[in-house]
Chains A and B, each alone.
Chain A
C-alpha cells in the first residue's frame, strides 16, 4: 500500500515536472524573463550530473567526492574536439569533430573509461579514504587541465558554435533547452530502469549490507565498479551539454567545489530518490541566482543553509514533503 502510494507520487511528480519543463520557454516569454530558459537549461544539465551521482551516493552507498572530474572530462572532450576541428588534427592524426552524434557519445565514453580507471583504484578502499581519494584524483585532473597550455590552461578554451544536431539550429537557445530536457528525461528513464533491475537491487543490497552481499555469493567489487563507471559516464554527458551551453570549457568544471556542489544537489533534494537530485539541482541553481542578485556575499548564506539542511533535514526536500 505504502509502496504503491510512493510510486504514484513519483509518477505525479514526474508528469508535473515534465509539463513545467515543456512550457517553461512560453512561461519565460509571458513573464518577460528570457533568462529563465538559460536557468532551465542549467538546471537540466546539473540534474543529469546529480542523478548520476545519486546512483553512487543514494543507491550504492559510495560517497564519491570527485564527480567534477567526469563532468570536466566530458566538457573538455567537446572543447578539445572543437578546437581540433577548427585547426590541426590532434597529434597530427585524430581529426576534430563538431557533430553531436560523434562528440557526445565520445564524451560519455571518455568520462566512463576515466571513471573505470579511477574507480578501480579508489574502490580498493572505503569510507573516509574513498571520499579523500576520489577528491584527490579529481584534483589531479584539475591540475592536468590547468597545465595543458595548448588548450588554454587556466583561462579555459572557447569555441565558436555548439555541436551540430540535425534539425536544431545551433544558435537557438530554446531548442538547446529542449535538447537538454530530453537528455534529462532519457537519463531519468534509464536510471529508473537501472535501479529497478537485478543490477540495481544488488547495488542497494551493497549499500545496506556489503558483508551480507558477500555472504550470499556476490562479489561486490565489480558491481561497485560498474556503478562508478556508469555514474561517471552520466557526468560526462552533463559536462558535454554544459560545454555546449557556454561554448566554453575551463578547469573550473573540474574544481573540487564543483564536486561539492553536485553532492549538495543530491543531498538537498533527497538521496536515493529518482527526482530528488533534479529538485536539488533546481533549488541550487535558483537559490544561487537569487542570492547572487541580492548580495555578492551569497555564500555566507549558502554555507549555513547547507549546515542546517544536514543537521535538521537530512532526508532532503523530498523527504520533508513525504
Chain B
C-alpha cells in the first residue's frame, strides 16, 4: 500500500514534467497550427543550460532560470528565422524542417559538451527526504518538482483565462485571421506564445537534470511520450494536456513498477521479467490505442 502511494507520487511527478512539455507543444499547435519536433531540443537545451550554470557555481534557482531562459532564447531565434515561414505550410513540411533542427541541435550540443552525460546535483536545500506519509521517506526534490508543476499549471490557467494576452491566445486559436483583421500584431503574439512554450520546455529539462543524466538526444524519447499525452488529451487543448499528462505519467510509472510483479504471480520469473519490461514500456501506447478507439479526438477535444 505504501509502495503504491510512493509510486503514485512518482507518477504525479512524471506527469507534471510531461505537462510542462505538452502545454507548450499544444499551445503552439493551437495558435500557430505548427507541429514542432524541435520542442525536444529546447528541453535538452534547458537541461544543458541549467547543468552548465550549476557547474559554474550558480545558485540552483538561478540555474533553473538560466535553463528556461536559454531555451526561450533559442526558441525565439528559431521561431523568427525559420518557423514563422512554416505556419502556413502543411504539417509534413513542418515535421521535416523541425526534424532537421533536431539533427542540428543534437550535433551542436555534442560538439559543445561532448557525448559524455553531464551530472547535475540536487541542490542542498532540496536534498534529503520527508515522511509525507508516515514511514515512507520521499525525496524533497521530487515534491518540489510537483509543486513547481502545479504552480505553472495555475499560472497558465490564469494567464490564458484571465488576461488580455490570454484572450488573444484563445482568439488566435479559433480564428487567427479574424484576430489579425482586428489589428492585433499576430507576429508578436506567435513569438510570445512560442517563447513561453520554449521556456516551459527548458524549465522541464532544467528540473530533470538532477534526476536523470543530461545528455545529447535526451529529449527525443520524452517528446514521443509527450505526443502520446497530446493525442490522449486532445490536441490543442491545455486542459487536455493536463489530463493526458497526469494519466500517461501515472500509467507509465505504475506499469513499470507493478506489471513485472503481477506477471510473476502467473508465470515463470525470468519470462515475467522480460515480458513485463516489454509490456510496461508499451503500456502508454496501449492506453493511447484504447482512447483512440473510444474517443478518436482525445479526451478533451478543442473546439473547431
Show the binding face of A for B, using Cβ within 8 Å.
57, 63, 65, 121-122, 124-125, 127-129, 131-133, 135-137, 139-140, 143-144, 146-150, 256, 260, 263-264, 267, 271, 297, 299-300, 302-307, 309-311, 314
Q: Which residues of the other chain, B, contact A306 by a CB distance below 8 angstroms?
A: 96-97, 99-100, 103
Shortest Cβ gap from A162 to chain B (Å): 29
Interface of A is mostly: helix
Is B227's CB under 8 angstroms from A132's CB?
yes
Of B97, B275, B293, chain A has the most CB atoms within 10 Å of the CB of B97
Beyond A63-B91, A128-B29, A304-B100, is A297–B110 a contact (Cβ under 8 Å)?
yes
Can you list 9 contacts pairing A with B, beta carbon distance less than 8 Å? A125-B296, A133-B288, A136-B285, A143-B281, A147-B274, A267-B96, A299-B107, A302-B100, A310-B100
Q: Does B140 contact A (CB under 8 A)?
A: no
Q: Which residues of B contact A135 (CB under 8 A)?
A: 224, 227
**In the complex, are the beta carbons of B231 and A300 less than 8 A apart?**
no
Answer yes or no: B199 CB below 8 A from chain A CBs: no
Contact A264 B274, CB 8 Å, known A124-B292, A137-B285: no
- Closest 3 A-B residue pairs measured CB to CB? A306-B100, A303-B104, A147-B278
Contact of A136 among B93, B111, B288 (CB under 8 A): B288
Given contacts A136-B231, A263-B95, contact A307 B101 (CB under 8 A): yes
Does the CB pair B100–A129 fall under 8 Å? no
Q: With CB as the reference atom, state the residue of chain B lying closest to A132.
A: B227
Nearest Cβ in chain B — how far from A209, in angstroms?
Answer: 14
Among B91, B100, B105, B110, residue most surrounded by chain A Cβ atoms (within 10 Å) = B100
Given contacts A297-B107, A300-B104, A303-B103, contact A129 B231 (CB under 8 A): yes
Chain A CB within 10 Å, residue with most, of B85, B90, B111, B292: B292
Partner of B281 from the list A131, A147, A303 (CB cut-off 8 Å) is A147
Interface residue? B220 (CB, 8 A) = yes
Number of A-B residue pairs at CB separation under 8 A: 131
Say yes or no: B231 contacts A303, CB within 8 Å. Answer: no
Report the Cα distance A283→B196, complex, angstroms: 38
8 A Cβ contacts from B72-112 to A: 82, 85-86, 89-93, 95-97, 99-108, 110-111
Q: Is the CB of A299 within 8 A of B92?
A: no
Q: How distant is the Cα of A194 from the Cα of B282 in the complex, in angstroms? A: 35
Bound together, the chains give a CA A136 to CA B29 distance in angstroms of 18
A129 cross-chain contacts in B, Cβ below 8 A: 231, 235, 297-298
Least CB distance, B18 to chain A, in whole angstroms? 14
How distant is the Cα of A131 from the Cα of B35 in the complex, in angstroms?
9
Which B residue sits closest to A268, measured CB to CB? B96
Within 8 A of A (CB), among B281-303: 281-282, 285, 288-289, 292-293, 296-298
Contact A311/B97 with A121-B292, A147-B281, A267-B92 known, Cβ cut-off 8 Å: yes
Question: Which chain A residue lies CB-closest to B220?
Answer: A256
Residues of A within 8 A of B227 (CB): 132-133, 135-136
**A299-B109 Cα distance, complex, nearest whole Å:** 12
